[in-house]
Structure 1
C-alpha cells in the first residue's frame, strides 16, 4: 500500500474542480490506462484542477501523469485461475484487505471533497468496497458517473452477475450519468439489462478513447529489429497472453522466411519462468526479438507495420488511434468480452481475426495458420477506411460532459458545508 507524495507546486487549497476517479484494478493494465487517459485530458481542460485516481494496480507508479493529477494506491488483489480472488502482496485474508481498501477510499473521498466521482466499470466497486463512499458522496452533492468499456460480457453471464452484486440497484440509485466508452454500432453493453427509462436517459455513448504519443524525454533504445518493418506482438499486462506469444513464436520457428519481423512485448505480469523460456526460443530466431515492458508502448505501435494482439479495450483504442492493421486473437475465457469486440470489429473491416479458441490450454495451434495471417497483415486495408462516424471522439465528449456536470454540482451548498 502506498500513497504518492503530493506535488510540491500544488497550492494548499484550490478553487479548481476536484475529480476523484476509482479503478478497482484486480488484473492487467486496462483499467489504469483508461483512467490515466481520461485524467490527463481533464487536467488540461480545467484551470487549477485536482484529480486523484484510486487504484490497486501495482504498476501505477510506472506511468506519467499530467500536472494536477495524483494517485492513491490501495492494497492489491488478484484474480486466480479458478475465478476467486486473493491479496497480491499482504499476508491478510481477502475480507481484511477489502476493509482496508474501503477505509482508504472513504478517507480519500472525505479529504478531497470531489465535485465529480468517475467510477470505472464496477458500480459497487470490488466486493462492494465503494458503496459507503457512494452513499456519502451522493448525500454531499457530488455528481457520480459510471464509465463502462464498450463490451462487458455476453448477456447470459453479465446480467445475473450484476444482479447478484447489486450493481443494477446501485446504478439506478447513485449514478447521475453512465458513459459508455464506445459506439452502439459496435456494441451496446447495457441493452440486455432491464433498466428504468430514467437510467436509459443517463447513458451517453462517447466513442472510443483515442491515444496520443506520450512525450519521450530521452531517445528510446529499441531492438535493432525495429529499424525495419515489423509487427508488434502485445498482450497488455501479459498475465493471460502466453498462448498467443507461443503461437506467434511457433509460426516463425516453422517458417523463418516470414518477411515481417516480430517484436514481442511481454507485459509486467507474465510469469518470469515462462518469459525466460520464450526468450530462449526467440534468441534462435533472426526475425524475432522481445522486451519485457514499455509504459510508452504507443511509440512502438506507431512505428510498427501492424499489431498482433488479443484485443482488449485499450489495445483496440491504440490500434484505431494509430490506424494500424491488426490481427486479433481474442481470449474466450473467463469472459467473452474480447471475442464480442473482435467479431464485430472484423465485420466492420477494422481488424482481421483468428479464432480465440486456439488460445485455450491444450489447444493444437497450427503454426502455418498464424504464419499465413502474419503475411496477410501487410495487405489489409487500414482501419480508417471503415471508421464509423464519431469512432474516436471519446475524450472530446468526456471533456464536454464533465464541463456540463461541473455547472450542475454543489449549487445548493458550498463544499466546506457538505463535507463538514
Structure 2
C-alpha cells in the first residue's frame, strides 16, 4: 500500500479529505479493530488526510492509532444474557446514555465535516442513534455514506427479523451510497434473506477480507509455541478451559501454548485460570491483553482461536494453521464462518455439533495442527484484497486520485 503527502483536495486549495468511522462496540473488540484497520489504510494511502473513529469500546484507549487517526470514546453500554442493554456507567440509565452518545456523534460530525462516513454493521446505529445525523448528511449531500458489513452477520431468518425490527432496511435504502461487504461473495453472502431492493443490491461492493500486518512490533517467545486467543475474551471461557484441560490431561502435549485472555475475560474466572496455568510449569504461559497480538500471530506455529471476523482475517493474513472453536450463542455468525472456511480448506472447525467440545477432541486438534495445510494452500491470498478495494472505492466516490508517487 503506497503512501503520499498529496491531499485529495490539494488541486483546488481546499482542506484535506476527512473520514469518520462509526463503531457502536457494545461488546468485544471486533468493531474497533476493524475500524482501526480501515482508518489506517485510508490515511496511510493518502486517500484522506485524517480520520476519527467513533467507538463505544471501553478499551479503545489501550490501542495505538497511527498518525492522522484519532478516536472519540462514546459512553459505553453492555449487553445482558437476555439480550437487553444497560449502561456501563452505573450512574446513568440507558436513555441518558443513548442521548449522550447521540449528542457526541452529532457534535463530532457537525464540527469535523467528514467527506466519508463508514458505519460499521448497524445501519441505524445503536438504538437508532445514527438516524438524526444520517438525515442531515443525506440532505446536505456532501458526504459519501458507506455501510460496512462483515462477511457473516447471522442466520438469514434471524437477521431479517432483526433488521425489520430496527428499521435497518429502510435506512439502508435511503441513506447509503454503497454497501461494502468485507469478504468475497464466493465465501458467503451476509445479505441473504434481507429484502433489499435491486437498486440497493447494485450498490454492494465485495471487497474481500481486510489483510492485517504487524502494526506494533513485540517480543515473542524464543521457543516454538501455539497461540491461543479467544479474541476479546468476553465469551471465551469455555474455549480457554478446554485448552487448559487438554494440557492438564496429556503431559506430553506440545508445543507450549501462549494464551492471550483478552481484556474482557477477567475477575474470578481469570484468577482460576491463572492458578491452573501456573500449575502447568511453563507449558502454558498467559497474558491478559496485548494490542500487539499481530506479532504473536506471525510467530506462532499454529493457532487455537474463536471465530470472530478479525481473528479470522489474522489467520488468513499470517497464513496460520488454525483450529477455530466458534461460539454458537447468541449468534451463529462464528459457526457459519468457521464451517464455510473448513469447507474451503482454510481452517479446521472444532464443531460442537459434530465433534463435541471434549478434552479428547481438543487434544486431537492440537496434535493435528502441524499436519493441516496452510490457508495459502487453499487460495487464501486471493481473498485478502479488502483494504485495496476500500481505498479504490473511497477515492472513486470522493473523486480523489492519488499521484503516481503513491502508486
Q: Which moved more, 1:49-58 or 1:117-126?
A: 49-58
Deviation (angstroms), 1:261 = 1.2
What is residue 369 of structure 1 aligned with on the other side?
Answer: 361
Structure 2 counterparts to residues 102-113 of structure 1, below 5 A: 102-113=102-113
Q: 2:285 aligns with which of 286, 289, 307?
A: 289
Gaps of 5+ in 1: 1-12, 409-420
Deviation (angstroms), 1:367 = 1.3
What is residue 224 of structure 2 aligned with on the other side?
Answer: 229
Deviation (angstroms), 1:342 = 0.3
Q: What is the DSSP-based 3-state SS (H/G/I as helix, E as strand, rest coil) of the residue aligned with 1:180?
A: strand
What is residue 137 of structure 1 aligned with on the other side?
Answer: 137
Deviation (angstroms), 1:332 = 0.4
Distance 1:187 1:47, change over 3 A: closer
Deviation (angstroms), 1:185 = 1.2
What is residue 258 of structure 2 aligned with on the other side?
Answer: 263
Q: What is the DSSP-based 3-state SS (H/G/I as helix, E as strand, rest coil) of the residue aligned with 1:344?
A: helix
Distance 1:106 1:303, change over 3 A: same
Cα pair 1:23 1:31 within 8 Å, conserved: yes
Structure 2 counterparts to residues 334-345 of structure 1, below 5 A: 334-345=330-341
Distance 1:167 1:48, change over 3 A: closer
Q: What is the DSSP-based 3-state SS (H/G/I as helix, E as strand, rest coil) of the residue aligned with 1:267?
A: coil
Distance 1:188 1:389, change over 3 A: farther
Deviation (angstroms), 1:63 = 1.2
Cα pair 2:18 2:48 within 8 Å, conserved: no
- The CA distance in 2 between the partners of 1:311 and 1:52, in whole Å, is 28
- The CA distance in 1 between the partners of 2:174 and 2:79, in whole Å, is 28
- The CA distance in 2 between the partners of 1:48 and 1:78, in whole Å, is 32
Is 2:318 the counterpart of 1:322?
A: yes
Cα pair 1:25 1:56 within 8 Å, conserved: yes
Cα pair 1:310 1:331 within 8 Å, conserved: yes
Deviation (angstroms), 1:193 = 1.3
What is residue 50 of structure 1 aligned with on the other side?
Answer: 50
Q: What is the DSSP-based 3-state SS (H/G/I as helix, E as strand, rest coil) of the residue aligned with 1:20?
A: strand
Distance 1:90 1:110, change over 3 A: farther
What is residue 386 of structure 1 aligned with on the other side?
Answer: 378
Structure 2 counterparts to residues 79-98 of structure 1, below 5 A: 79-98=79-98
Q: What is the DSSP-based 3-state SS (H/G/I as helix, E as strand, rest coil) of the residue aligned with 1:378?
A: helix
Is 2:276 the counterpart of 1:275?
A: no
Distance 1:48 1:125, change over 3 A: closer
- The CA distance in 2 between the partners of 1:326 and 1:188, in whole Å, is 23
Distance 1:358 1:29, change over 3 A: farther
- The CA distance in 2 between the partners of 1:119 and 1:86, in whole Å, is 22
Is 2:239 the counterpart of 1:244?
A: yes
Distance 1:389 1:193, change over 3 A: farther
- Relative to the length of structure 2, the TM-score reads 0.92
Is 2:305 the counterpart of 1:305?
A: no
- Relative to the length of structure 1, the TM-score reads 0.89
Is 2:399 the counterpart of 1:403?
A: no
List structure 1 segments (4+ residues) > 3 angstroms apart after TM superposition: 356-359
Cα pair 1:14 1:50 within 8 Å, conserved: no
Q: What is the DSSP-based 3-state SS (H/G/I as helix, E as strand, rest coil) of the residue aligned with 2:399?
A: helix
Deviation (angstroms), 1:357 = 5.2
Gaps of 5+ in 2: 1-12, 401-407
Deviation (angstroms), 1:390 = 3.4
Structure 2 counterparts to residues 65-214 of structure 1, below 5 A: 65-141=65-141, 142-214=143-215
What is residue 331 of structure 1 aligned with on the other side?
Answer: 327
Q: What is the DSSP-based 3-state SS (H/G/I as helix, E as strand, rest coil) of the residue aligned with 2:191?
A: coil
Is 2:41 the counterpart of 1:41?
A: yes
